[in-house]
Amino acid sequence: MNPTILIIYNIIQLLLLACLGLSVLYIFIFSFAGIFYRQPPFSAPTDFRKIAVLIPGYKEDNVIIDVAKDALLQNYPKEVFDVVVIADSFELSTLESLKCLPIKVIEVSFDKSTKSKALNKAMEQLPEEYDIAVILDADNLMAQDFLSRINASFAQGFIAVQGHRTAKNMDTSFAILDAASEEINNHIFRKGHRMLGLSSAIIGSGMAFKYDFFKKMMSTVTAIGGFDKEIELKLLKEGNTIEYLDDAYVYDEKVQKAEVFSNQRRRWLSAQLVYFRKDFLSALKAFIMRGNIDYFDKAIQFIQPPRVLLLGMVIVFGIIFFIINIFLDNQLICNYLWMGIVLICILTFLFSVPRRLYNVKTLKALSTLPKGMILMLRSLLRIKGANKQFIHTKHGAN
Protein backbone atom coordinates (compact mmCIF):
# COMPACT_ATOMS: atom_id res chain seq x y z
CA MET A 1 0.00 0.00 0.00
CA ASN A 2 1.12 3.55 -0.72
CA PRO A 3 2.83 4.90 2.47
CA THR A 4 0.78 8.11 2.41
CA ILE A 5 -2.50 6.17 2.18
CA LEU A 6 -1.32 3.88 4.98
CA ILE A 7 -0.57 6.88 7.21
CA ILE A 8 -4.02 8.36 6.53
CA TYR A 9 -5.62 4.94 7.23
CA ASN A 10 -3.80 4.66 10.56
CA ILE A 11 -4.74 8.21 11.57
CA ILE A 12 -8.41 7.40 10.90
CA GLN A 13 -8.09 4.14 12.82
CA LEU A 14 -6.45 5.81 15.83
CA LEU A 15 -9.06 8.58 15.90
CA LEU A 16 -11.87 6.00 15.91
CA LEU A 17 -10.08 3.98 18.57
CA ALA A 18 -9.75 7.08 20.73
CA CYS A 19 -13.35 8.29 20.31
CA LEU A 20 -15.02 4.91 20.71
CA GLY A 21 -12.58 3.86 23.43
CA LEU A 22 -13.31 6.93 25.56
CA SER A 23 -17.07 6.47 25.13
CA VAL A 24 -16.85 2.79 26.11
CA LEU A 25 -14.59 3.53 29.07
CA TYR A 26 -17.01 6.20 30.33
CA ILE A 27 -20.04 3.90 30.45
CA PHE A 28 -17.95 0.96 31.69
CA ILE A 29 -16.82 2.86 34.79
CA PHE A 30 -20.39 3.68 35.79
CA SER A 31 -21.65 0.25 34.79
CA PHE A 32 -19.09 -1.41 37.07
CA ALA A 33 -19.88 1.03 39.89
CA GLY A 34 -23.59 0.29 39.52
CA ILE A 35 -23.00 -3.33 40.54
CA PHE A 36 -22.24 -2.13 44.08
CA TYR A 37 -25.16 0.28 44.37
CA ARG A 38 -27.55 -0.27 47.27
CA GLN A 39 -30.70 1.76 47.81
CA PRO A 40 -30.20 3.93 50.94
CA PRO A 41 -32.84 3.12 53.60
CA PHE A 42 -35.18 6.02 54.34
CA SER A 43 -36.97 6.17 57.69
CA ALA A 44 -40.75 6.38 57.58
CA PRO A 45 -41.61 10.10 57.91
CA THR A 46 -43.91 11.35 60.63
CA ASP A 47 -45.72 13.78 58.32
CA PHE A 48 -47.27 13.45 54.88
CA ARG A 49 -46.39 16.15 52.38
CA LYS A 50 -49.08 17.42 50.01
CA ILE A 51 -48.37 16.02 46.54
CA ALA A 52 -49.61 17.07 43.11
CA VAL A 53 -49.38 14.20 40.61
CA LEU A 54 -49.18 16.05 37.29
CA ILE A 55 -50.07 14.01 34.18
CA PRO A 56 -49.80 16.04 30.96
CA GLY A 57 -51.22 14.33 27.89
CA TYR A 58 -51.67 15.21 24.23
CA LYS A 59 -54.44 13.25 22.45
CA GLU A 60 -53.98 10.37 24.91
CA ASP A 61 -57.63 9.26 24.87
CA ASN A 62 -56.64 5.58 24.60
CA VAL A 63 -54.89 5.39 27.95
CA ILE A 64 -55.61 8.40 30.14
CA ILE A 65 -58.77 7.19 31.91
CA ASP A 66 -57.16 3.95 33.09
CA VAL A 67 -54.02 5.84 34.12
CA ALA A 68 -56.03 8.38 36.12
CA LYS A 69 -58.00 5.63 37.88
CA ASP A 70 -54.82 3.74 38.71
CA ALA A 71 -53.15 6.87 40.09
CA LEU A 72 -55.89 7.14 42.72
CA LEU A 73 -54.96 3.74 44.20
CA GLN A 74 -51.86 4.94 46.07
CA ASN A 75 -51.40 3.77 49.67
CA TYR A 76 -50.93 7.40 50.62
CA PRO A 77 -53.54 9.48 52.51
CA LYS A 78 -56.19 10.57 50.00
CA GLU A 79 -56.49 14.03 51.48
CA VAL A 80 -52.84 14.90 50.85
CA PHE A 81 -52.45 14.11 47.17
CA ASP A 82 -54.24 15.23 44.04
CA VAL A 83 -54.17 13.63 40.61
CA VAL A 84 -54.05 16.40 38.01
CA VAL A 85 -54.65 15.49 34.37
CA ILE A 86 -53.54 18.24 31.97
CA ALA A 87 -55.68 17.53 28.92
CA ASP A 88 -54.42 18.85 25.59
CA SER A 89 -56.65 18.12 22.57
CA PHE A 90 -58.66 15.32 24.23
CA GLU A 91 -62.01 14.17 22.88
CA LEU A 92 -65.13 15.51 24.61
CA SER A 93 -66.18 12.03 25.76
CA THR A 94 -62.77 11.50 27.37
CA LEU A 95 -63.01 14.81 29.22
CA GLU A 96 -66.48 13.95 30.50
CA SER A 97 -65.27 10.59 31.80
CA LEU A 98 -62.26 12.20 33.50
CA LYS A 99 -64.46 14.79 35.21
CA CYS A 100 -66.49 11.98 36.80
CA LEU A 101 -63.37 10.87 38.70
CA PRO A 102 -62.15 12.45 41.98
CA ILE A 103 -59.29 14.21 40.18
CA LYS A 104 -58.49 17.68 38.86
CA VAL A 105 -58.79 18.15 35.08
CA ILE A 106 -57.13 21.17 33.49
CA GLU A 107 -57.89 21.68 29.81
CA VAL A 108 -55.21 23.37 27.73
CA SER A 109 -54.78 24.22 24.06
CA PHE A 110 -51.78 25.61 22.23
CA ASP A 111 -50.84 26.44 18.64
CA LYS A 112 -47.72 24.36 19.24
CA SER A 113 -48.12 21.90 22.09
CA THR A 114 -45.25 21.04 24.45
CA LYS A 115 -45.08 19.34 27.82
CA SER A 116 -43.43 22.40 29.39
CA LYS A 117 -46.30 24.66 28.25
CA ALA A 118 -48.86 22.22 29.64
CA LEU A 119 -47.13 21.97 33.01
CA ASN A 120 -46.70 25.73 33.34
CA LYS A 121 -50.34 26.37 32.45
CA ALA A 122 -51.51 23.83 35.01
CA MET A 123 -49.38 25.27 37.80
CA GLU A 124 -50.72 28.74 37.04
CA GLN A 125 -54.20 27.44 37.89
CA LEU A 126 -53.36 25.18 40.82
CA PRO A 127 -53.34 26.55 44.38
CA GLU A 128 -50.01 27.16 46.13
CA GLU A 129 -50.63 24.41 48.66
CA TYR A 130 -48.43 21.56 47.46
CA ASP A 131 -45.06 20.44 48.79
CA ILE A 132 -44.10 18.01 46.02
CA ALA A 133 -44.76 17.83 42.27
CA VAL A 134 -44.67 14.34 40.74
CA ILE A 135 -44.47 14.24 36.92
CA LEU A 136 -45.84 11.29 34.98
CA ASP A 137 -46.36 10.55 31.30
CA ALA A 138 -49.90 9.82 30.19
CA ASP A 139 -49.17 6.08 29.97
CA ASN A 140 -47.38 5.72 33.32
CA LEU A 141 -48.65 3.56 36.18
CA MET A 142 -47.23 4.08 39.68
CA ALA A 143 -46.55 1.21 42.06
CA GLN A 144 -48.97 1.65 44.95
CA ASP A 145 -46.19 2.67 47.35
CA PHE A 146 -44.60 5.16 44.94
CA LEU A 147 -45.84 8.35 46.64
CA SER A 148 -44.96 6.98 50.09
CA ARG A 149 -41.39 6.33 48.99
CA ILE A 150 -41.16 9.75 47.33
CA ASN A 151 -42.41 11.38 50.53
CA ALA A 152 -39.81 9.51 52.60
CA SER A 153 -36.98 10.67 50.33
CA PHE A 154 -38.06 14.32 50.60
CA ALA A 155 -37.88 14.00 54.37
CA GLN A 156 -34.11 13.64 53.85
CA GLY A 157 -33.92 17.11 52.28
CA PHE A 158 -33.77 16.27 48.57
CA ILE A 159 -35.44 18.68 46.16
CA ALA A 160 -35.29 16.46 43.07
CA VAL A 161 -35.79 12.69 42.91
CA GLN A 162 -35.97 10.26 40.00
CA GLY A 163 -37.98 7.08 40.48
CA HIS A 164 -37.25 3.73 38.88
CA ARG A 165 -39.05 3.79 35.55
CA THR A 166 -39.40 0.30 34.14
CA ALA A 167 -41.37 -1.55 31.47
CA LYS A 168 -45.04 -2.41 31.90
CA ASN A 169 -45.17 -4.32 28.60
CA MET A 170 -42.74 -6.62 26.83
CA ASP A 171 -45.03 -8.07 24.20
CA THR A 172 -42.86 -7.49 21.12
CA SER A 173 -39.16 -7.75 20.36
CA PHE A 174 -38.88 -3.96 20.12
CA ALA A 175 -40.62 -3.57 23.48
CA ILE A 176 -38.13 -6.01 25.05
CA LEU A 177 -35.17 -4.14 23.57
CA ASP A 178 -36.66 -0.83 24.74
CA ALA A 179 -37.15 -2.30 28.23
CA ALA A 180 -33.56 -3.53 28.30
CA SER A 181 -32.32 -0.13 27.12
CA GLU A 182 -34.24 1.58 29.93
CA GLU A 183 -32.68 -0.70 32.54
CA ILE A 184 -29.19 -0.26 31.08
CA ASN A 185 -29.61 3.50 31.43
CA ASN A 186 -30.97 3.07 34.96
CA HIS A 187 -27.88 1.08 35.86
CA ILE A 188 -25.31 3.39 34.28
CA PHE A 189 -26.79 6.88 34.65
CA ARG A 190 -28.64 6.42 37.92
CA LYS A 191 -27.21 3.58 40.01
CA GLY A 192 -23.63 3.99 38.80
CA HIS A 193 -23.68 7.76 39.13
CA ARG A 194 -25.17 7.76 42.62
CA MET A 195 -22.67 5.09 43.69
CA LEU A 196 -19.83 7.43 42.71
CA GLY A 197 -21.43 10.45 44.39
CA LEU A 198 -22.82 12.11 41.27
CA SER A 199 -26.43 13.02 40.56
CA SER A 200 -28.89 10.64 38.98
CA ALA A 201 -30.05 11.46 35.48
CA ILE A 202 -33.74 12.27 35.15
CA ILE A 203 -35.93 10.75 32.45
CA GLY A 204 -38.93 13.01 31.90
CA SER A 205 -41.44 11.04 33.97
CA GLY A 206 -41.56 9.15 37.24
CA MET A 207 -39.74 12.10 38.80
CA ALA A 208 -40.53 14.42 41.72
CA PHE A 209 -39.51 17.94 42.76
CA LYS A 210 -40.02 20.35 45.62
CA TYR A 211 -43.16 22.04 44.34
CA ASP A 212 -42.36 25.75 44.70
CA PHE A 213 -38.83 25.17 43.39
CA PHE A 214 -40.17 23.25 40.38
CA LYS A 215 -42.82 25.85 39.58
CA LYS A 216 -40.28 28.67 39.65
CA MET A 217 -37.78 26.69 37.57
CA MET A 218 -40.38 25.57 35.01
CA SER A 219 -41.42 29.17 34.39
CA THR A 220 -38.00 29.68 32.77
CA VAL A 221 -38.14 26.54 30.59
CA THR A 222 -38.73 27.11 26.88
CA ALA A 223 -37.91 23.67 25.47
CA ILE A 224 -40.07 22.28 22.68
CA GLY A 225 -38.51 18.84 23.02
CA GLY A 226 -36.40 17.50 25.87
CA PHE A 227 -37.80 19.69 28.65
CA ASP A 228 -36.33 17.23 31.17
CA LYS A 229 -32.85 17.91 29.81
CA GLU A 230 -33.29 21.65 30.32
CA ILE A 231 -34.46 21.36 33.93
CA GLU A 232 -31.74 18.80 34.67
CA LEU A 233 -29.06 21.20 33.47
CA LYS A 234 -30.59 24.05 35.49
CA LEU A 235 -30.61 21.88 38.62
CA LEU A 236 -27.00 20.77 38.24
CA LYS A 237 -25.73 24.20 37.23
CA GLU A 238 -27.04 25.53 40.55
CA GLY A 239 -25.25 22.76 42.45
CA ASN A 240 -28.31 20.67 43.36
CA THR A 241 -28.15 16.90 43.74
CA ILE A 242 -30.69 14.60 42.09
CA GLU A 243 -31.48 11.45 44.06
CA TYR A 244 -32.47 8.08 42.58
CA LEU A 245 -35.01 5.72 44.18
CA ASP A 246 -34.41 2.25 42.81
CA ASP A 247 -37.34 0.81 44.77
CA ALA A 248 -39.92 3.47 43.74
CA TYR A 249 -41.40 2.00 40.56
CA VAL A 250 -43.23 3.67 37.70
CA TYR A 251 -44.34 1.40 34.87
CA ASP A 252 -43.90 2.84 31.39
CA GLU A 253 -45.25 1.64 28.06
CA LYS A 254 -42.43 0.50 25.80
CA VAL A 255 -42.50 1.12 22.07
CA GLN A 256 -43.80 -1.77 19.96
CA LYS A 257 -43.16 -0.57 16.41
CA ALA A 258 -40.05 0.40 14.49
CA GLU A 259 -41.56 3.71 13.35
CA VAL A 260 -42.36 4.80 16.92
CA PHE A 261 -38.91 3.69 18.09
CA SER A 262 -37.26 5.76 15.35
CA ASN A 263 -39.30 8.92 16.02
CA GLN A 264 -38.80 8.70 19.76
CA ARG A 265 -35.01 8.30 19.46
CA ARG A 266 -34.84 11.08 16.91
CA ARG A 267 -36.45 13.45 19.41
CA TRP A 268 -34.15 12.34 22.23
CA LEU A 269 -30.96 12.56 20.15
CA SER A 270 -31.87 16.01 18.88
CA ALA A 271 -32.45 17.30 22.42
CA GLN A 272 -29.12 15.90 23.59
CA LEU A 273 -27.18 17.54 20.76
CA VAL A 274 -28.92 20.89 21.27
CA TYR A 275 -28.13 21.00 24.97
CA PHE A 276 -24.55 19.79 24.47
CA ARG A 277 -23.91 22.73 22.15
CA LYS A 278 -25.68 25.11 24.49
CA ASP A 279 -24.10 24.06 27.79
CA PHE A 280 -20.73 22.42 27.16
CA LEU A 281 -18.57 25.54 27.48
CA SER A 282 -20.58 26.76 30.48
CA ALA A 283 -20.23 23.33 32.12
CA LEU A 284 -16.50 23.22 31.44
CA LYS A 285 -16.09 26.67 32.99
CA ALA A 286 -18.14 25.63 36.04
CA PHE A 287 -15.96 22.55 36.45
CA ILE A 288 -12.69 24.49 36.23
CA MET A 289 -13.77 27.51 38.29
CA ARG A 290 -16.09 25.92 40.88
CA GLY A 291 -15.39 22.20 40.71
CA ASN A 292 -18.97 21.49 39.54
CA ILE A 293 -18.34 17.98 38.24
CA ASP A 294 -22.07 17.09 38.15
CA TYR A 295 -22.86 19.79 35.60
CA PHE A 296 -19.80 18.96 33.49
CA ASP A 297 -20.55 15.24 33.61
CA LYS A 298 -24.08 15.89 32.33
CA ALA A 299 -22.72 17.86 29.36
CA ILE A 300 -20.38 14.93 28.58
CA GLN A 301 -23.33 12.53 28.75
CA PHE A 302 -25.10 14.46 26.01
CA ILE A 303 -22.34 13.82 23.48
CA GLN A 304 -22.19 10.09 24.23
CA PRO A 305 -23.48 7.88 21.38
CA PRO A 306 -26.67 5.93 22.19
CA ARG A 307 -25.72 2.67 23.91
CA VAL A 308 -27.19 0.43 21.18
CA LEU A 309 -25.49 2.43 18.43
CA LEU A 310 -22.19 2.45 20.33
CA LEU A 311 -22.25 -1.34 20.63
CA GLY A 312 -22.92 -1.66 16.91
CA MET A 313 -20.18 0.79 15.97
CA VAL A 314 -17.61 -0.91 18.20
CA ILE A 315 -18.36 -4.36 16.80
CA VAL A 316 -18.60 -3.30 13.13
CA PHE A 317 -15.51 -1.06 13.11
CA GLY A 318 -13.62 -3.58 15.24
CA ILE A 319 -14.24 -6.38 12.73
CA ILE A 320 -13.49 -4.20 9.69
CA PHE A 321 -10.20 -2.81 11.02
CA PHE A 322 -9.19 -6.19 12.48
CA ILE A 323 -9.47 -7.85 9.07
CA ILE A 324 -7.77 -4.99 7.19
CA ASN A 325 -4.90 -4.86 9.70
CA ILE A 326 -4.25 -8.58 9.31
CA PHE A 327 -4.43 -8.32 5.52
CA LEU A 328 -1.99 -5.39 5.51
CA ASP A 329 0.16 -6.81 8.32
CA ASN A 330 -0.30 -3.34 9.81
CA GLN A 331 -0.07 -2.08 13.39
CA LEU A 332 -1.23 -5.35 14.91
CA ILE A 333 -1.24 -3.73 18.36
CA CYS A 334 -4.35 -1.90 17.16
CA ASN A 335 -6.09 -5.26 16.85
CA TYR A 336 -5.47 -5.90 20.54
CA LEU A 337 -6.95 -2.49 21.28
CA TRP A 338 -10.03 -3.26 19.14
CA MET A 339 -10.49 -6.60 20.91
CA GLY A 340 -10.14 -4.86 24.27
CA ILE A 341 -12.75 -2.20 23.42
CA VAL A 342 -15.21 -4.81 22.14
CA LEU A 343 -14.74 -6.91 25.29
CA ILE A 344 -15.17 -3.93 27.63
CA CYS A 345 -18.28 -2.81 25.73
CA ILE A 346 -19.87 -6.25 25.97
CA LEU A 347 -19.02 -6.44 29.70
CA THR A 348 -20.67 -3.05 30.19
CA PHE A 349 -23.93 -4.39 28.78
CA LEU A 350 -23.66 -7.65 30.73
CA PHE A 351 -23.19 -5.70 33.98
CA SER A 352 -26.08 -3.36 33.21
CA VAL A 353 -28.87 -5.70 32.09
CA PRO A 354 -30.83 -6.99 35.13
CA ARG A 355 -30.81 -10.74 35.68
CA ARG A 356 -34.59 -11.00 35.15
CA LEU A 357 -34.05 -10.09 31.48
CA TYR A 358 -31.69 -13.01 30.93
CA ASN A 359 -34.28 -15.28 29.33
CA VAL A 360 -35.36 -16.87 26.06
CA LYS A 361 -37.59 -13.92 25.07
CA THR A 362 -34.69 -11.48 25.35
CA LEU A 363 -32.46 -13.85 23.39
CA LYS A 364 -35.05 -13.93 20.58
CA ALA A 365 -35.40 -10.14 20.72
CA LEU A 366 -31.67 -9.81 20.06
CA SER A 367 -32.38 -10.85 16.48
CA THR A 368 -33.94 -7.38 15.98
CA LEU A 369 -30.90 -5.63 17.44
CA PRO A 370 -29.27 -4.96 14.03
CA LYS A 371 -32.52 -3.33 12.89
CA GLY A 372 -32.54 -1.25 16.07
CA MET A 373 -28.97 -0.13 15.38
CA ILE A 374 -29.88 0.88 11.83
CA LEU A 375 -32.93 2.80 13.05
CA MET A 376 -30.81 4.56 15.65
CA LEU A 377 -28.26 5.53 13.00
CA ARG A 378 -31.07 6.77 10.74
CA SER A 379 -32.50 8.81 13.63
CA LEU A 380 -29.05 10.32 14.20
CA LEU A 381 -28.85 11.36 10.54
CA ARG A 382 -32.35 12.91 10.66
CA ILE A 383 -32.14 14.89 13.91
CA LYS A 384 -31.83 18.29 12.24
CA GLY A 385 -34.76 20.40 13.35
CA ALA A 386 -36.33 17.66 15.50
CA ASN A 387 -35.93 19.76 18.64
CA LYS A 388 -37.88 22.62 17.01
CA GLN A 389 -41.08 20.63 16.59
CA PHE A 390 -43.35 18.63 18.87
CA ILE A 391 -43.00 14.92 18.02
CA HIS A 392 -45.78 13.02 19.74
CA THR A 393 -45.35 9.40 20.85
CA LYS A 394 -48.81 7.86 20.78
CA HIS A 395 -49.56 5.33 23.54
CA GLY A 396 -51.98 2.47 23.80
CA ALA A 397 -52.26 1.95 20.05
CA ASN A 398 -51.79 -1.49 18.55
pTM above 0.85, yes or no: yes
The per-residue pLDDT for 256 is 58
CA distance 214 to 209: 6
51-257, which class in CATH?
alpha beta
Q: What 3-state DSSP class applies to 249?
A: strand
Rounded to an integer, what distance in angstroms lies between the CA atom of residue 231 and that of residue 159?
Answer: 13
- Residue 57 backbone phi and psi in degrees, to 5: -145, 140
Instruction: For residues 122 and 116, give the distance between their C-alpha atoms in angstroms, rounded to a whole number.
Output: 10
- 304-358 per-position pLDDT tens digit: 888 888 888 899 999 999 999 988 887 778 999 999 999 999 999 999 999 999 9
pLDDT above 80: residue 269:
no
More confident residue, 380 or 280: 280
Mean pLDDT of 34-60: 91
Is the predicted pLDDT of residue 229 greater than 50, yes or no? yes
| Beta strands 51-58 and 132-135, pairing class | parallel
What digits encode the pLDDT tens for the residues 90-131?
999 999 999 999 999 999 988 888 888 999 999 999 988 999
Q: Residue 398 above 50 pLDDT?
A: no
Res. 397: pLDDT tops 70: no
- Sign for the CA dihedral angle at 26, 32, 34, 36 comes to negative
Domain boundaries, the chain: 3-36+273-386, 51-257
Write down the pLDDT at residue 350.
95
Kindly state the percentage of the chain with pLDDT values over 70.
90
Q: What is the pLDDT at residue 225?
A: 66
Over 60: is that where the pLDDT of 258 sits?
no
